[in-house]
Structure 1
């Protein structure tokens, strides 16, 4: 899933471990104490302490017996893994409820992300404010200008299923290298483009399925 470059030989991190490491970082960023044990992490994330310790063998940090992990260096290590030390500018297409909520999400700053623009093609929304951002008309000219000015590599798609592929095409054509897609549709992107689908429908169905099993 990801190569972690250290003094030792780089390790290939399995995807399940990589996903859990993201959850560990999100948890640690909310912690106010200086140390945390594998048991403490495991209890909050409903996994086993053994799994936590095994996952942490992929990063360059060790816990202390009867004390646990020192949180600041652990956060630094995970932040390096996920590139948080580098601030990435992103743009959002779709100023509906979801797009607006993402644009105003204060937590992005903690993980090295900044929303620099939000676009829509609805005349009612264009010119209105979402937080401190004015909604811009969705056009190639506007996109190209913003992407170039802010060196944007990440585009967030919060539009309807019918419009999502066209929006993706326009974003990629204008230099976007990664897409975070919230539309309930499978997008086709060129090789080399990073695509992360955030499918709300399948997420809800998973929750419903798990509830039925209880």
Structure 2
């Protein structure tokens, strides 16, 4: 793709997932250059796969030196839109929702938590970090005020679908779902599921071998 071509890049899902991992890793290393072999070793894949993944980016490596990390990070950041701040809200002020609200790394990737909600009267008006827990009745006002498109669902399984439907009615376009249940949503709505139970079971299965 030409350097000045700003059309959205259509990526295969496996490639997108690997590029996210590369980006997270490169943000942490204190290096000037990195080779496809080094990245391949880190993620237990073939160097050819790394180089193929990078063909979707406007960047090339140097023989025997590798990829210049600063422009590589910049290119990946542009791909993932980290240069544009996106506001996000959290529904569920329990342990998980509170931990997400306090996470300090979001702004590095262009995300800011602007509000947290709960339907428990004991939690409403309490503080999670610098945010006051709001009732669900304030959802629409907050979504419009902060122009929010993304919401994280951190509620019990039995409440997740109801919350998802409410958020969609109020204008949310993408759901980050931490509830261990599939959500029924219109095709136009983006859903990213984070199944913590499934994740830890996968890890236990691997280490058991």
TM over 0.5: yes
| Root-mean-square deviation over aligned CA pairs | 2.0
Aligned partner of 1:138 in structure 2 is 136
After superposition, give the CA deviation of every residue in 1:85-127 in whole Å (9 maximum; x if it has no partner). 1110000000111101111111111111000000011122111
Structure 2 counterparts to residues 11-160 of structure 1, below 5 A: 12-139=10-137, 142-160=138-156
After superposition, give the CA deviation of every residue in 1:11-46 in whole Å (9 maximum; x if it has no partner). 632111110000011111112222112122222222
Structure 1's unaligned 5+ residue stretches are none
Q: Does 1:166 align with 2:155?
A: no
**Count, aligned residues:** 209
Distance 2:81 2:50 in 1: 21
Aligned partner of 1:177 in structure 2 is 173
Structure 1's consecutive aligned runs of 4 or more residues displaced over 3 angstroms after TM superposition are 3-12
TM-score, with normalisation over the residues of structure 1?
A: 0.91
Structure 2's unaligned 5+ residue stretches are none
Distance 1:118 1:11 in 2: 32
TM-score, with normalisation over the residues of structure 2?
A: 0.93
Aligned partner of 1:206 in structure 2 is 202
TM-superposed CA distance for 1:9, in Å, is 9.1
